């Protein structure tokens, strides 16, 4: 399989599952905006437990079931594309945490078709 390595940026957006923007799920809107901007892809992870700046515990434990579990939206793309999304995040996010770091991307291509 062909292997392609390159440098990229990883954007992580830590928010709550109940966070909304314009009466819609914030994580959903972020992923839609990333797609609209033709970014390489986005993944949403739902956390089992966590807390943020407010120190309030959010957990999936059945005895303390939270309706606002931690959510992580992760996008890996070029710096150029990450920069395109940031102004929208500035508008949408009232609270949360955004991190950007360098990553090395290794893509494995599919096998060439058999003749």
- pLDDT at residue 89 greater than cutoff 60: yes
pLDDT at residue 66 in the model: 57
Band the pLDDT of 52: cuts 50, 70, 90: confident
pLDDT at residue 50 in the model: 77
User: What are the boundaries of each domain within the chain?
Assistant: 3-107
pLDDT at residue 65 in the model: 53
- pLDDT at residue 86 greater than cutoff 90: yes
| Greater model confidence, 82 or 52 | 82
**Are the beta carbons of 82 and 40 closer than 8 angstroms?**
no
CA distance 61 to 64: 5
Q: Determine the average pLDDT of the residues in 29-33.
A: 98
58-68: pLDDT as tens digits: 666 655 555 67
- pLDDT at residue 39 greater than cutoff 60: yes
| Cβ burial 70-108 (10 Å sphere, 16+ → b, else e) | bbbbebbbeeebbebbeebbeebbeebeeeeeeeeeeee
Task: Determine the topology of domain 3-107 in CATH.
Answer: Alpha-Beta Plaits (3.30.70)
Strand pairing of 42-46 and 3-16?
unpaired
Q: Determine the average pLDDT of the residues in 95-115.
A: 80
């Amino acid at each position: 399989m062909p292997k392609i390595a390159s440098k990229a940026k990883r954007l992580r957006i830590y928010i709550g599952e109940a966070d909304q923007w314009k009466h819609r799920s914030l994580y959903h809107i972020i992923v839609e905006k990333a797609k609209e901007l033709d970014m390489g892809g986005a993944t949403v992870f739902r956390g089992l437990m966590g807390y943020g700046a407010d120190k309030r515990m959010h957990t999936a434990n059945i005895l303390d079931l939270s309706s606002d579990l931690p959510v992580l939206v992760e996008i890996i793309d070029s710096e150029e594309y990450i920069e395109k999304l940031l102004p929208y995040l500035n508008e949408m996010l009232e609270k949360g945490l955004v991190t950007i770091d360098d990553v090395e991307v290794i893509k494995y291509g599919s096998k060439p078709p058999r003749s």
